[in-house]
Structure 1
Amino acid sequence: MKRVILLAVTVLLSSGMLTAQADEEKTYKIPLIGEKAPSFTAETTNGTLLFPGDFGRKWKILFSHPLDFTPVCSSEILELAAHQKEFDELNVKLAVISTSPLDSHKAWKKALEEIEWKGQDRMKIKFPLIDDDSRLISREYGMIHPAIHGTRSVRGVFIIDPDNVIQAIYFYPMNVGRSSEELIRSVKALQAAKGALMTPSDWQAGDDMIISVPPVVDQSDENVPDGYYKKAWFLWYEKAKSGV
């Protein structure tokens, strides 16, 4: 009888180890631009979050970092908090994720809220810090890059539109912090680029925009319609409208 019990325990343990190993070895594909953002449920510093559904018809930014209580990550979170009003004005919801556990997130958040950052008063961190201690979410989003940082998530960004479709992806190395201002510029560009309109290099809100199709067939100078101009037959611009 003892041998039977021992055998059963051994089989169960082996099965569990094999399942864990299979999960570790599973290949995870980075979700691509144009695909639906993978959904998940997780505990956060703001309670349970069903992502992206809980954010409704908002733009969403899923922002991953490697580890709590580290200097570059701390500077990034403080910068996001400093730009909270701008994200709100753009109808953007932020969600920050790492493989650190929830207790660590809570302690780190408390410590960050005690810091006076770049001449500003102490700030409240309103966006959720997501517990991904299991690394399942980070793997699902392709944010575990073993060659760089083992089992820690890299510095990743997914910008997701109100239809929960991924519109932009960034990955940064461990030693380079991201720019909140570039995140904001990217969201503004994505929101502005509609139909035939596209944003040129270094575009800022209020700048002229590129049009993908010339507004006229006859491109002679005398036929250029008001509100447009060209740099070449293949490079047409629409002038920014005043007050936009």
Structure 2
Amino acid sequence: MIAPFWAQAQDDSRIPLIGEKAPSFTAETTQGTLNFPRDYGRNWKILFSHPRDFTPVCSSEIIELSQMQEGFKELGVKLAVVSSDTLSQHKAWVKTINELRYKDRQPVKIDFALIDDKNYVVAKKYGMMHRPVSTSEYVRGVFVIDGKNIVRAVFFYPHSVGRNMEEIKRTVIALQTTDKELVYTPANWMPGDDVLVPYFPYTDKELKDDPKVADNFYNVGHLMHFRKSK
């Protein structure tokens, strides 16, 4: 007897780790055939998974993504959303969402791909089905992938809790900042806040006596060395 698709997907599925190459796949989407991540080139990518189309939490998430899609584009980020729903279901859902008014905002036409994964190919490659929760529906997964197609951040949320899209955007900005400036970001960092420097380039005496150094850097004890925001 051949096991159903969802059972096969769970037999040898694996969650890609931070620092690994993003698994590739080819699938049909609401924007045509997608070869992921290749078709998105050197852009950053975020791959979202959700349990089911036409459900309340998932609908709220897709609406929020549509409202924020231009902001992600400005960061050089391509978005893609995947579930086990069929392409026809995705298209019908997109049509419905494109007409919904939510939080007194005008609808924004969805401009990112929804991926048909009815055979659980993507679910298997990205470990998006967690057996203790469901044997047929994805959890809410998020994979942040950089321009070199390296997995940089991974999040999972339960079915009952919608994701904070602003936090996902903040994570992308933090990652891009740390890459560009060779710094770290502290807890609760927001764009424009001071950043941590991995190796403090000045002595305590220089920090105390040199106004130029003090204008740009400070210490918190001997554990944290900060560079002031520009």
Match of 1:60 among 19, 38, 45: 45
Deviations 1:6-56 (A, max 9, x none): xxxxxxxx5xx2797983562222100000000000000011000001011
Instruction: Report what 1:209 is aligned to.
Output: 195
What CA distance in whole angstroms lies between the structure 2 residues aligned with 1:22 and 1:173?
20
- Tell me the percent identity: 47
* Secondary structure class of the residue paired with 1:50: strand
Instruction: Report what 2:185 is aligned to.
Output: 199
The answer to whether the 8 A contact 1:210-1:238 is kept is yes
Does the C-alpha gap of structure 1 residues 43 and 24 become closer, same or farther in structure 2, counting only changes over 3 Å? closer
Instruction: Report what 2:24 is aligned to.
Output: 39
Instruction: Report what 1:126 is aligned to.
Output: 111
Does the C-alpha gap of structure 1 residues 24 and 63 become closer, same or farther in structure 2, counting only changes over 3 Å? closer
The answer to whether the 8 A contact 2:5-2:120 is kept is no
The answer to whether the 8 A contact 1:219-1:233 is kept is no
TM-score (norm 2): 0.92
Q: What residue identity is the alignment partner of 1:210?
A: L
Number of residues of Structure 1 aligned to a counterpart in Structure 2: 225
Q: Does 1:108 align with 2:97?
A: no
Does the C-alpha gap of structure 1 residues 183 and 18 become closer, same or farther in structure 2, counting only changes over 3 Å? closer
Cα distance, 1:90 vs structure 2: 0.6
Cα distance, 1:82 vs structure 2: 0.5
Deviations 1:112-150 (A, max 9, x none): 111012222222011000000001111110101011122
Does the C-alpha gap of structure 1 residues 235 and 21 become closer, same or farther in structure 2, counting only changes over 3 Å? closer
Alignment root-mean-square deviation, CA: 1.8
Instruction: Report what 1:30 is aligned to.
Output: 15
Instruction: Report what 2:228 is aligned to.
Output: 239
What CA distance in whole angstroms lies between the structure 2 residues aligned with 1:20 and 1:185?
36
What CA distance in whole angstroms lies between the structure 2 residues aligned with 1:81 and 1:24?
29
Runs of 5+ unmatched residues, structure 2: none
Runs of 5+ unmatched residues, structure 1: 1-13
The answer to whether the 8 A contact 1:145-1:151 is kept is no
Does the C-alpha gap of structure 1 residues 155 and 21 become closer, same or farther in structure 2, counting only changes over 3 Å? closer
Cα distance, 1:180 vs structure 2: 1.1
